[in-house]
Amino acid sequence: MLRDIDRVQLLVPDTGAAAAKWIELLGAQDAGKDAVKTLSAKRTTLRIGTSCIELLEPDGTGIADTALKARGRAHLFAAGISTTDMAGLEKQLAASAADVVAENGQLHICLPVEDTPVRFAVSPHEERSQVGDASFLYEATLLVQNEAAAVKLFVDTFGLNDAGFEHISSENFGYTGTLTLFDAQRLHRFEVISPTSAEKTMGRYFAREGVCYYMAFCESARMLDIEARATAQDAGITVERPDGRGADKTPDQMWLHPPSLGGMMLGISRPTMAWTWSGHPDRVEDVA
């Protein structure tokens, strides 16, 4: 029933300041302002690629204000999912442990994962033209202690088919996990991972924050433009380019650090690169 990671929600103290970073660095476009009453939040929606970024700012006391004060800083608040069967998904969720509130055509979901509230926003699927320098979001990463149990909870809650899931691990970053591909032929998924090294950045982050969203990933055919802009703006960026590939050729991956985008780390992969670890390495295209 789940189709795309079509947006993320970023909780920030100032939506205007955060929006400016996405616009200046990635060419995002302002798509409007409204409010999410169930979260007690003002919302600015940006278009980037074929996806959306929802910037939430507390509007009085309530869920958003409590969450921002608890973390003490801006952070990735919720993964946004699209579906072509909203009624079917609502029926599926009604039999789960999730708390669901419908508002303005969206479902705002709170699911307890290891006794921690994890949030999702579900929207009806919508075809959109591409905006800016990203192509589309495809992944939201959740850090947990027990990856297998969390994945089972997601399967039961959202009715996912685990036949297309991919198990992953990394000694370099220090984790093991699962990519819960919604469709084995498409990249969109949750990345549910457990840190395996307390010495690595991810392990230190998990020790400090506990169960939480860590980052999101998108694909882009304009990585050189983003890299050049981030460098010119002195924005935090980590670039992964194979040895021997010149600086005039696209990197395989790069990561924009949280301060660069108002509080959220964004990974960016070149077209087809994510299939390397997503079940179809044969689909990865060579760099010209």
Q: What is the pLDDT of residue 278?
A: 97
Which two three-digit tokens encode residue 123? 């929207």
245-278 confidence digits (pLDDT tens): 999 999 999 999 999 999 999 999 999 999 999 9
Structure tokens at 26: 């990635």
- The answer on pLDDT for 77 being more than 90 is yes
Residue 288 has pLDDT above 90, yes or no: no
283 bridge partner residues: none
Nearest to 53 by CA among 132, 110, 141: 132
Category of 42 on φ-ψ map: left (φ > 0), alpha (ψ -120 to 50) or beta: beta
Residue 197 within any structural domain of the chain: yes
Contact 214, 252 (CB under 8 A): no
Q: How far apart are CA 51 and CA 135, in angstroms?
A: 8
- 195: in domain: yes
Residue type (1 letter), 105: G
Q: At residue 72, what are phi and psi to the nearest 5 degrees? A: 80, 10
Is 246 part of a structural domain of the chain?
Answer: yes
The residue range of the domain holding 141 is: 2-283
pTM for this structure?
0.97
- What is residue 218's predicted lDDT score, i.e. its pLDDT? 98
Quick check: is 11 in a domain?
yes
On whether residue 288 sits in a domain, the answer given is: no
44 in a structural domain: yes
Q: Cα-flanking dihedrals φ and ψ of residue 223, to 5°? A: -65, -35
What CATH number is given to the structural domain containing 235?
3.10.180.10
Q: What is the average pLDDT score of the chain?
A: 97
Residue closest to 158 by CA, chosen among 228, 229, 86? 86
Q: What is the pLDDT of residue 261?
A: 98
Calculate mean pLDDT across residues 56-72: 97
Residue 114 counted as domain residue: yes
Inter-residue contact 240 to 276 (CB < 8 Å): no
Q: How many domains does the chain have?
A: 1
| Mean local confidence (pLDDT), 37-59 | 98
Q: For the segment 230-247, what is each residue's pLDDT rounded down to a tens digit? A: 999 999 999 999 999 999
